[in-house]
Structure 1
Amino acid sequence: MKKNILLAFILFSFCFTSTGQNKYKELDALLNKNSMIDAMTVLEKLKDNPKKDTLDAEYWLRYSKASFTLYKYENAKAAIDKSIKLAPQNAAYHFEKGLMLNRIGEPENALIALQRAVELKPKGEYHYWKGIVNQQLNKLKDAEEDYKSALANGFETPELHNNYTNILMINEKFTESLIHANKAVAMDKKNGMAYSTRSKNHLYLLNVDAACADKSAAYDLGYMRVFQIPDTICKGSFIQKMKFAGDYCAGSNMYKQAIKAYSALIDKKEYQSDIFLNRGYCYYKLKEYANAEKDYLKALELPNPVKDLLYDNLSLLYFDQDNYTKSIEYSSKRIELNPKNHVPYIDRGLNYRKLKKYDEAEKDFNKSLSIKPDFFRAYGYRAFLFLELGQYRQSLEDASKSVEINPKYAYGYLVLAQAKQKLGQTDFCTDLLNAQKYGNDEADIAIKQYCN
């Protein structure tokens, strides 16, 4: 499950403190209204000022803010750059530039400006906004350090603690994140987002009752994006609550916490197949293969096992440990359950290819395609089989077919590039770049070796 990072933003405002230049007091009052009409008035007054004022960095700061309000972004950027040119060591101008660039959708450039601001003056507010931009760019370690620096430099708001809580939760620092969630609520007891964030934190700590209480508090405060826990769970039994917590943690990739939830159920003698299946899956994701195997096999012994899923998981488990014979055993069991399921044939075919049983592998890939003729993964895997056998023309045809069916199939592009290279076709780098674009890590190495 993809994690959504909720950022608590302070609205970008034109309220600012003049650096001792009272002659701009009237203009500042107009700018602080965030009105387009007032911004036009500011620009007119600035243009009427004596010419020497254009050598004043504060003059260009007001010009930038007024232009921004009027959606004249290029003018706003040019004006703030003039402020910086006139006073390059003034951190405030770099900060204002960073805020503006972030608002107009240039977070990378905003980060550069904010980084310069904190270098010139490590002000807590500057670190906070730099943290927000880093969080937007998914640079979570940097954002965590920025929020920590903001607090160390005396800047503290409910929004900061809320953002910090989210990052610490993603990094699975749940006890530490709860401290900041509590501070966000304590600083603003009417902040629905803070209660919602703390609700999620409580759930990760498997305290479902506290999570439900915070969910209700957020909802009562009118927060519409409240973290959802069904009322049936909040009013349910310990078993229902712990299952929900475990499933939510597993779905959020918080596998260690999910294991704790499922283990708590098993400790209560809740020997249900799905609980062992889910705990086994979490162990598998953590590469604790021995524990995963025990749980999967236990799940098969219990009433009402989901055999198709368990056979699938066991096949993958053994494949990842290079135990191809055992993997074949369970993919074959899956085929016996449903011979018309096209997926286990490619799983078994991959194992046969690893064992160099090429005829068996090709038969399984062919069978998968006979059931589902547009199954792009079967074309991709058969393409690699042909590549390994030196049948480059057939490999090219299958790889081309795989990306024709799914234009975002990274592995298909990787095999296509290799087939083209073997056939002496010079445009293979285009396919490597597509493989890289759609997430294949192996393409990076090939691009550095052949395409620079």
Structure 2
Amino acid sequence: MGGRKYALNTKGALQRKSLRTTGLHIISAWLCYVCVLIVLEGQCLYDLGMSVEALESFTKAAEIKPAFRPYHMRSLACLTALGRYSDCLRLVSNWLETGDPSADLFTLRARLHQQLNQMTLCYHDVRSALRLKPSCQEASALLKKLQETAERSHHAAVDKALMGELSDALGKINTALEYNPSKAHYYLFRGILYRRLKDFTAAIDDFVLAVDLCGVGEEPPEGEEQEISGALEEDAQTQLVLTYNDFAVQCFSRGLYREAVVLLNKAIEKQRDESALFINRGDCFYKQCEWMFALADYQLAEEMGPDNTAIRLRLAVIHNTLGLHRFNNKKYQEAADTFSVAIKHNPAVVQYYENRAKASSKADRLEEAKQDAIRVLILDPTNEQMVALLLRLLPGCSLSDIMSCATAQSVERQMMAKIEVFNQAASKVSRIGKMALVEDDSQTATHASLTDDDPKQKVQTAQVDRKLVQSKQQLNQAVKKALHQRRPLRCDRPRLAPAPREREEPDTQERPYVWRKFRGLGLNC
């Protein structure tokens, strides 16, 4: 048809005596006939299975007439027969970039991506084809096949995860996402796997993608599907908070307290009604010696869960720490009051009573100091410092008389009753925590603590804090030693004082003056 057209144009040009135009039309007509011959040759070679020679023929024809798409399509068929899918892909991509995109071209490129095992790109091309032509049956069939393969891989990943084979489960869910990268549920599941494998950065990325994809899947959700999408988004947000918390716990264990605070801030922004997040952030502030920030977080957590023993333990520790600092700053009255708050939250730690006894004695609250010294000796009878303090506050009384008096017995009953109530509350909360862990493993990170919640661990923390007070007590070590060796003032029988030893006189005549020391009048009472 093209050759006839140029032939007619040549005849008309000759009649108009336009030699240049006539020559151009003759050349064009000749090229058309040459292309026809080349294409016929290529088709014969292709039918004979000689794809390489056929490709050369079709390529020559396409070079002669580059704008004629059928010649390029024949070259594409030869490349496909030769298995050169990458060259086919470049050719089709060039058509889509330079020409008008169509559903058929997108479907063709999707098939090429499938041959190259590029399933994600295949999926996106299929979706592009369906957006241009929703009734395209070939694209719909390919999309359905991709979705079915993805769902089978997802089920296999779930089975592997249930068997504890997390790495294999991760490989299966990655395959599912290659075949269907728009499924929010797959990203949620893979994020949970990453979280269990301690790859928190990848888990956070997947949960964010899951939240973004909720309601933006293959079809807009309606009715019940919309409710499922909302529940899925809520689950993704919850998992994101848990991952931030787990990541913060890992940073805390490595001493990266500032990074842990940043992560917990992100978690708290998304879920402000979870007391465990404030507890953990308070622990980070405590490790950074930011006592007031830690106290503020613990108090917020207490408002959310006033019966939480873990919060009470931390409040006791932070108030004890603040009391030690006030004691070192010689604010003894404030220190005693702060130690009282610590004892209110945790009455089972002997160090708190000892600290309050020392602060009360410095603040001239002698009666409170006596009672606290008695409490310390009830819990720790070997505490020599409290023995010395008690004997100094009650001169003329022996230790056995003091500990057996009615006041001491009343103090012991009251203290033991408070400790018993505290221990019962602690054991009750502990049982509830274990039941929650059995019911839902996903809540483990929320209830996880950055520091140990055991009261014994808190006692050890208080013992470490005691060193701050001991450094100040070393200044009065000589005086305390004299008090420890003090003899009782009461004496049932007279005792003779030891004869004073004669002082040796120096040989030199010039000797320094020495103050004379008197040792009594013969009786040491």
Please say which structure displays the higher CA radius of gyration: 2
Establish whether TM, by shorter chain, passes 0.5: no
TM-score interval, normalised by the smaller of the two chains: 0.3 to 0.5
In the superposition, the TM-score normalised over structure 1's length comes to: 0.36
In the superposition, the TM-score normalised over structure 2's length comes to: 0.32
